[in-house]
Structure 1
Amino acid sequence: VQPACINQEEDVTGQFGVAVGWGFTEDDDVSATLKAARMPVVSTTTCLEHDRDTFGQTLDSSLFCAGHTNGTTVCNGDSGGGLHVKRGNAWYIVGIVSFTAPREDQSLLCKKDSYAAFTNVVTFVPWLRNVTELLSLAEQGSVTVRDGLDADPTHRYPNYLPRLCGNFLVSRIVGGTPAKLFEFPWMALLAYRTELSDNTEYNCGGSLINKRYVLTASNCVYPKTPFQVRLGEHDLNSYKDCNPNDASDCAPPVQDVAIDYIVRHQQQDRRSKSNDIALIRLTREVSFDDHIQPICLPVTPALKEQKLQRYIVTGFGRTESFGDISNILLKATLPAVSKANCQQELGITLGESHLCAGSAKDGGDTCQGDSGGPLGYPVRYNGVRFVQFGVTSFGRACGVGASVYTDVANLMDWILANMQA
């Protein structure tokens, strides 16, 4: 076991590197042994001329292309592995496997006769220095909470969000009644240690956005910090969650995953509650199943500009931190409220990072939502998928009126800028 050196050369085009991994082989099967492949770094022009459909919208200074078009390339299962260049007696990591071109058969497997995209390590050297310095100061066994990086709206960040997200399992209907068990598989619960004992309490919600990240509110991670995330939960009082209409239809066990570190918005204002958002990185990838799936985020211009008349909020009965919660996952449909009406109703000034929903007269309120939990709705996006538009932030007492959510579309650049592969 030895560390690799970090490349600091600006341009590695034309250099040959070695990619290693246990990814899919030419037989479309995962390799049982560590494989290595030697491949050149090619110019952006060459890459775009080869496959503009795959690389045209994503290739920028943070990525480069490498590989051969004769079948020697990286594939599924190699993501996160390095491309290494030998200089003298040392190996330097110049790139990290990011993505490959998909096949035309919609199998999502790599296209063997195409280049692959690698994260350009040199562009992240300042960030690496900053993060490693912060992590070295963290106490062993504790969760590091740090401020995020500023997002540049003109920069195109790598999209680490899965294509298959927001699956609305409408087929799970028994006797004409929706089976609530698998309805919101992206719901997360944040676990905290109680102050006077070593017991666990669940005081905030979140949403799973890929295999390593949970989106939540900044007020859920500071000043009190969670240590673990629970996924796939439906009834806290039940060891095994089953469909009330079909006892044989049960969910697999929940997944309790430790937290690696937390990134909260560096411009979060606790007084105005603006930019109330945070990312939780898990210590390992979670396994997707019917009861654990990622939610979609508004990544496209059309989704960012979407104007909805209503939303769905989910949670275990929380609107403020550290109080009683419901044992069963709840949902409520809320009408959208204009920012002007919301400001007038609440008597506060709202910023660009806020959106409002809920109405006392319609019987909907955020009493059924966790702080940090998702506000979303099924919309047309690669079919019909459930997209998250808000993060539950704050509101008045139950049934009083509108509540305020963090506007996810407004902060998409920040989210992408602070995610890693």
Structure 2
Amino acid sequence: MRLPVEYSSTVIPICLDQNVDRDLRELEGERGWVTGWGKTENGILSEVLRTASLPVVKHLECLLNDRLLFGHVLNDNVFCAGNRNGTSPFPGDSGGGMYFNDGDRWILRGIIAFGKINELRVNDPLKFTMFVNIQWYMPWINEVFAESEPKQDKRQKRISELECERFQTLTRKRRNGDCFNNRFRHNVMLVNEKGDLVCNGVLVEESHVVTTCKCIRSASHPVKVRIEANGDKAFAEINCHPKFVDNSKHYDLAILKLNAPVRLSNDLIPACLANNWTENLYDILVQTSFVTESLVSDHMTLVETDENRISLYEVCDSLRGSTRWFNRSDQTGELCVISSDQLIYETYPVLRHSSSSGAILQTSNRRSCMSTIVGLKVSNEGGNGIPDRFSVDIYARISSHVDWIEQIIWNVQPKVDALLPSLDVDFECGVYDHEGWNDEWPWSVAIFHRNPSTGASTLTCSGTLISLKHVLTTAECVVNRTTGIPLPEEAFELHFGLYHLDQRNVNEQVRYASEVHVHPEHSVNNVAILVTNWTVRSPPYVSQICIVPENNADFWNLEGKRVYVTGWQTVETGNPNNDHQSWSIHILGREACDEVSLSLLGNQSTPGQYCSDYPYEDDLSIADRGSGLYHRYLEGPLLGIWVLAGMVSSEVKGNDTDRYTMIVSLQPYIKWIDGILTDRKTRRISERECDRFNSMSQKASGVCENAGSTIDGNPPHVVKLLNEDRKFVCLGVLVEESHILTSCQCTRHPHRPTKAEMSNHSVLDVSGIICHPDNNPENFYSDVAVLKLATPIQVTSQLIPACLANARTEKLKDAMLQTLLVRSLDSKKPSPQSKYEYIGTEEECDKILPPHYKDQFFTPNQACVISPRLEADQFNGSIVQSVDSRACSFTVVGIGSSAVDNSDLGSIPNIGIVNRVALALDWIEEVVWEEEFPTRPNWTLVEKVTSGAAAGRSYDPLEHLYIVVSPLLLINCLLIF
């Protein structure tokens, strides 16, 4: 078609059975349905769509009815169907389909071709129709479909799709055709310390559960995941969607990492994640949810309903009329779903309660026995013009957020720095107990080459895993042998944990390549590295091997030592064997290797080369190009550790029955490999310090210890700045053991801060204050100041300095944790409170700022926040920061300066002026880490504020400022106490 159709509740695609070899005889006696607008019994075209049910009959029955009509066309390409009651397709119905019910969906199996019409016997009840057998033409149909598909989606599958296929290897069916896992055991409960149900979730991987962020941040505070028949699992990590803000229905998703993986089985299989290609919103949508039988009951049961349908986005009131000033959502991130199963809501009224948050909306395929998660319930509400007998729910749409989900669960990153798996660095590498015929070497990688036109893949080489993202192999495996140019990344498919080509298992992992690194002189240095686009899961089924430093001469002399190679026998036969194998080989001495290389290859072997022989005719090499050469330490402190020594390069034949395997030694390439694994880019001092601070973080039940109290949500690195009388002045944020970041407005307060109160209530003296040299008190330009503590704090897992945002880590469109002073109704004194909200971009701030302020505020280094809780005299020093709960890292994005009103916006919202840290980072780094900048300017000393200002007389912030121009002509303000 020239334009695609839009799916709706009345326009849904039919399913096609992809099994080309299905036997037509299985349809005999089955009834299918046909539809059409063809002629009726009155001989006129129908004005309405008519349907009829026809049984499929044997070819012989059609043949006996009319040998002349049907005899020359009956074959495997067609089948025959007909009634004995006179019902059949008529002229005008040709081309219509014949549909068969397959339990939970309809399958197209035939196309109406022609039928028998006898004008002289119109009333003859016996009428047969010939149908084209769709199965016969499926290869051609798929080719047509493939031509219209985007090529990039044809090339590779998403990591979530590959994992779904892995989980499918666990499925089994009973003799009656029912799936073992038909009880939706991937539906899980989130419970609190008392074991009470807080909300629902879904198991999507052995160690990960998806639920709602609102549930995680609720006052009920879930601490465990309860999985039916598997008990309770504690959290190891909690990740809310970075764009979720408090009290919102947008981006309300969270991912929980369990402290131990779940043991999967035939009846406990994770659910698949919907994406743009696998989502089917017009299939049967099943909602499942654990509920308590009443609001006061503690007995939990799993309920399900399939009376759900997608409705228009506008039906959900709260999605139509968003009142947020900074809206980071669109109309694809949520689903508005109407349920007509009023009985289940009457029986279980808690379905309208918050405990039903995280309920699953899914499609189920009885053929594959897999469920695909379409949405997660985030809210229950009344609809716009929807009758009371219906329930309207809002679901987070999984396909819109699958990129983020994959990133969190499978660590999808463009590149991950990795250390060389050296024995003196990583003792977890090289662990494997090779006994008997067990050839499941956990670091062996099967490298498939993919045909770009067909998508078919063939095993051609092997490789060795040396980090969770890096596979070492030979250059011959990754370059075009004609041109010598490296093959494109999409040409490779990497299989980890694969040991039998004809049998997939749940421990096998498939990854694609994101980078191809070939030695710059690969014609003589046969080595290459493939970087996977997703990290692989670690032991026991997949792990990395160790590498010995190049200066360990004793190790690299392998003559007389027992070494192994593994592979699929492609070097010997050209075609892969079905089973992965290993073999102990004999390494020749240097003189023997020189003789072999000189006589057979015409050149002398190099120190970077080993040789192995197969002296007997019945011995076959089991290796592939790129197969690893493995050696195991049999003595000393490294007893039992496996080490990679080289890679198989080629196989050569001697003048007799002898054959030799040429092996590339790894020793000359250790430094080159280390350079590929390690990112050598120069990093800012603030980034390096951020890594140091994050390394000290710890978690308890998945919650970062430096996240602070669950009551007020204030992180411990947010500090209170006090004056000489220990009265509260403003807020600041600890960014280094001895330095606090705040606003210049705070330092020019009549009661200037002289002390800092930490979260543990300890009070430290401030020894100096430095304002940004470009600060302008009138428009709050560069309103940033650094306070130096007289005594550095002791960093612990509960008190860790915050990181500083830069241009790469700022991420202004994410939700920010905003800590500011709020005056409660029952207290005259303001107190710090934290809440997740958005921060405005320059364009967004310009829209809401009153016209008379536009010439004064929002220079490029400023942004804004909106809240009716802001107070102009209390906003300075407020902290705006992003949160990475995976790394337990808080990054300061902005420092509050002042607040202004815009009465035209209604409800008197206050607009907070925020100075962006990223645009003042150069200056902040020079002040905080001055030892890193020996050529920085000398800061000017400034006199302390007199007691007169504190006593109440008019205060000019510049009155007591002695300005001295430094040699670099920079104006600086430094106050020393």
C-alpha contact 1:319 1:392 (8 A) present in aligned 2: no
TM-score by length of 1: 0.53
C-alpha contact 1:316 1:326 (8 A) present in aligned 2: yes
1:378 has 2:636 as partner: no
Counterpart residue number, 2:946: none
1:402 has 2:660 as partner: yes
1:294 has 2:548 as partner: no
Counterpart residue number, 2:497: 232
**Within 2, Cα distance between the matches of 1:235 and 1:181?**
10
C-alpha contact 2:439 2:582 (8 A) present in aligned 1: no
1:328 has 2:579 as partner: yes
Note closer, same or farther for the CA distance 1:304–1:293 as it changes in structure 2 (3 Å cut).
farther
Counterpart residue number, 1:261: 515
Counterpart residue number, 2:605: 350
Counterpart residue number, 1:316: 568
SS of 2:531's partner is strand
C-alpha contact 2:473 2:529 (8 A) present in aligned 1: yes
Following TM superposition, by how much is the alpha carbon of 1:31 offset from its aligned partner in structure 2, in angstroms?
5.2
**Within 1, Cα distance between the matches of 2:492 and 2:531?**
11
Identify which of 469, 476, 483 aligns with 1:219: 476
C-alpha contact 2:629 2:648 (8 A) present in aligned 1: yes
**Within 2, Cα distance between the matches of 1:349 and 1:196?**
42
Once the two structures are superposed, residues 21-68 of structure 1 have per-residue CA deviations (whole angstroms, 9 ceiling, x without a partner) of xxxxxxx95354699xxxxxxxxxxxxxxxxxxxxxxxxxxxxxxxxx
SS of 1:410's partner is helix
Following TM superposition, by how much is the alpha carbon of 1:279 offset from its aligned partner in structure 2, in angstroms?
0.6
Give the letter for the 2:639 counterpart.
G
Identify which of 267, 277, 302 aligns with 2:527: 277
C-alpha contact 1:298 1:408 (8 A) present in aligned 2: no
Superposition RMSD in Å: 3.1
1:30 has 2:237 as partner: yes
Note closer, same or farther for the CA distance 1:304–1:34 as it changes in structure 2 (3 Å cut).
farther
**Within 2, Cα distance between the matches of 1:158 and 1:239?**
29
Number of aligned residue pairs:
250
Following TM superposition, by how much is the alpha carbon of 1:223 offset from its aligned partner in structure 2, in angstroms?
0.8
**Within 2, Cα distance between the matches of 1:29 and 1:237?**
36
**Within 2, Cα distance between the matches of 1:215 and 1:235?**
21
Following TM superposition, by how much is the alpha carbon of 1:268 offset from its aligned partner in structure 2, in angstroms?
1.8
C-alpha contact 2:653 2:660 (8 A) present in aligned 1: no
TM-score by length of 2: 0.24
1:204 has 2:461 as partner: yes
Identify which of 636, 639, 643 aligns with 1:387: 643
**Within 1, Cα distance between the matches of 2:590 and 2:451?**
37
**Within 2, Cα distance between the matches of 1:411 and 1:301?**
12
Give the letter for the 1:337 counterpart.
L
Following TM superposition, by how much is the alpha carbon of 1:297 offset from its aligned partner in structure 2, in angstroms?
1.5
Once the two structures are superposed, residues 303-341 of structure 1 have per-residue CA deviations (whole angstroms, 9 ceiling, x without a partner) of 764433232111000227x92111101111111112321
Following TM superposition, by how much is the alpha carbon of 1:370 offset from its aligned partner in structure 2, in angstroms?
0.8
C-alpha contact 1:375 1:388 (8 A) present in aligned 2: yes
User: Which protein is bigger by CA-based radius of gyration?
Assistant: 2
Note closer, same or farther for the CA distance 1:401–1:181 as it changes in structure 2 (3 Å cut).
closer
Note closer, same or farther for the CA distance 1:304–1:203 as it changes in structure 2 (3 Å cut).
farther
Note closer, same or farther for the CA distance 1:300–1:343 as it changes in structure 2 (3 Å cut).
closer
Larger RCO, structure (CA 8 Å, separation 6 or more): 1
Note closer, same or farther for the CA distance 1:239–1:33 as it changes in structure 2 (3 Å cut).
closer
Following TM superposition, by how much is the alpha carbon of 1:169 offset from its aligned partner in structure 2, in angstroms?
1.9
Counterpart residue number, 1:68: none
SS of 1:319's partner is helix
Following TM superposition, by how much is the alpha carbon of 1:235 offset from its aligned partner in structure 2, in angstroms?
0.5
1:417 has 2:675 as partner: yes
**Within 2, Cα distance between the matches of 1:237 and 1:293?**
23
Q: Which runs of 5+ in 1 are unaligned?
A: 1-27, 36-156, 241-251
C-alpha contact 2:556 2:667 (8 A) present in aligned 1: no
Note closer, same or farther for the CA distance 1:164–1:300 as it changes in structure 2 (3 Å cut).
farther
Note closer, same or farther for the CA distance 1:158–1:227 as it changes in structure 2 (3 Å cut).
closer
**Within 2, Cα distance between the matches of 1:356 and 1:410?**
16
Counting only pairs closer than 5 Å after superposition, residues 95-174 of structure 1 correspond to structure 2 as 159-161=419-421, 162-170=426-434
Give the letter for the 2:543 counterpart.
Q
Counterpart residue number, 2:162: none
Give the letter for the 1:209 counterpart.
I
**Within 2, Cα distance between the matches of 1:300 and 1:316?**
29
**Within 2, Cα distance between the matches of 1:386 and 1:364?**
25
Deviates more, 1:304-313 or 1:201-210: 304-313
SS of 1:396's partner is strand
Following TM superposition, by how much is the alpha carbon of 1:409 offset from its aligned partner in structure 2, in angstroms?
1.7
Give the letter for the 1:368 counterpart.
I
Note closer, same or farther for the CA distance 1:290–1:227 as it changes in structure 2 (3 Å cut).
same
**Within 2, Cα distance between the matches of 1:292 and 1:383?**
21
C-alpha contact 1:311 1:375 (8 A) present in aligned 2: yes
C-alpha contact 2:556 2:645 (8 A) present in aligned 1: no
C-alpha contact 1:359 1:401 (8 A) present in aligned 2: yes
C-alpha contact 1:332 1:364 (8 A) present in aligned 2: no
Give the letter for the 2:644 counterpart.
Q
Once the two structures are superposed, residues 257-278 of structure 1 have per-residue CA deviations (whole angstroms, 9 ceiling, x without a partner) of 0101110111122xxxx31110
Identify which of 584, 590, 593 aligns with 1:339: 590
Give the letter for the 2:498 counterpart.
E
Once the two structures are superposed, residues 68-92 of structure 1 have per-residue CA deviations (whole angstroms, 9 ceiling, x without a partner) of xxxxxxxxxxxxxxxxxxxxxxxxx
Give structure 1 regions of 4+ aligned residues with deviation exceeding 4 angstroms.
361-365
Give the letter for the 2:652 counterpart.
R
Following TM superposition, by how much is the alpha carbon of 1:181 offset from its aligned partner in structure 2, in angstroms?
4.7
Give the letter for the 2:567 counterpart.
G
